[in-house]
Structure 1
């Protein structure tokens, strides 16, 4: 059963609620404090700056996280999300930052490597995952030179970390099969519905 992506999303929602009740400051990644207060390397991954920021990341995490979790299993998805988020934050050049985008780009990168021909909709156009990955990369490279308040370097770093992890898992055969640890029992109703949805809407290949 695929639960990790949903649990992570739930934690993100709870953290955002705490931000509204108290303050965002304790959750922020602040460059001058990242090693003096190392918990910020993790808490900033689960915090967000606005409802739009939150909803965009939740949508991507649930959609792509469920698909990847079905391929590599819940434990690997969890480690990829957390490790990517922390590594990206360690090397972050930004004075202050927050958000799960870097970790989510790790998920996207892993899918680029594992499911390169899976078709998704991007900018209202269907395209293979590998093409979408190239589009995301180009957008963020452009954003590095023309900043708009987005942590483009975190996106780029996360994408490459995810691709590296995905290539490793692909060599171990995770690209073309459903991981057994992502299921509870055989042919559960929810599992069938998730797989049917992926086939219908993601043109599974």
Structure 2
């Protein structure tokens, strides 16, 4: 990716900051004007899905400064590496789509659990599902993973099982009260699947024709 095109990771940080500032403004004004729930109306994803914009706004919104900071640090560790292997558009599109799908998985799962009487439905906001998807992409799309899987001639079903186990382990390791574990798990698997297909890689011509980059 050309440096002149800008850093999509830095651009994502800017969006985080702008959305968080807007959240603060909305929170203040909803209290002053008695508009209870207006913040959730704008930023929080939960069922029923009568506010489709929250599929996007919930990805960039955060529950507080520490929530934002932790996601920003996690994004920095993977984003600056991955953005070198893809385009600005693909990076941003993948981030928001994977984050929305991860959040949707969390909400649907919690809704099902609530329907069978084993818990309560949960609401979701935050970028961790999208960030986990980036980490999953790096795992699924790097040369080391390719080399290990080809060396042991792993069948597709076993490859899928391995990635599911890894996703479960990563999810368990990040577990804490209030953490959207299903979103983490779903985001990581979405990233792995995208990495295995080199979804974000740009085609480059070499003496051997077109190829997809891995790393």
Specify if TM > 0.5.
yes
Structure 1 equivalent of residue 43 of structure 2: 27
Q: What does the per-residue CA deviation read over 1:118-167, in whole Å, with 9 as the maximum and x for residues that have no partner?
A: 9xxxxxxxxxxxxxx976631424777xx621101100100010011111
Aligned to 1:160: 189
**Taking structure 1 as reference, are residues 136 and 165 closer, same or farther at Cα in structure 2, changes over 3 Å only?**
closer
The superposition leaves residues 58-107 of structure 1 with CA deviations (integer Å, 9 ceiling, x where unpaired) of 11223311110101222221121011012122332342111000011111
Give the secondary-structure state (helix, strand or coil) at the position aligned to 1:92. helix
Partners of 2:79 and 2:53 in 1: how far apart? 24
Q: Are 1:137 and 2:176 counterparts? A: no
Q: Is contact 1:80–1:162 with CA below 8 Å preserved after alignment? A: no
Partner of 2:98: 84
Pick aligned residue for 2:75 from 36, 49, 61: 61
Which secondary structure state, in structure 1, belongs to the residue aligned with residue 79 of structure 2?
A: helix
TM-score for both structures, normalised by structure 2: 0.65
Whole-angstrom distance in 2 between the partners of 1:74 and 1:85? 17
| Aligned mates of 2:139, 2:78 — CA distance in 1 | 11
Q: In 2, distance between residues paired with 1:149 and 1:116?
A: 35
CA distance in 1, matches of 2:21, 2:91: 24
* Structure of greater Rg: 2
Choose from 71, 76, 91 the match for 2:85: 71
Cα-Cα RMSD: 2.7
Of structures 1 and 2, the one scoring higher in RCO (CA 8 A, sep 6+) is 1
Q: Aligned residue pairs: how many?
A: 159
- Unaligned 5+ residue runs, structure 1? 119-132, 177-205
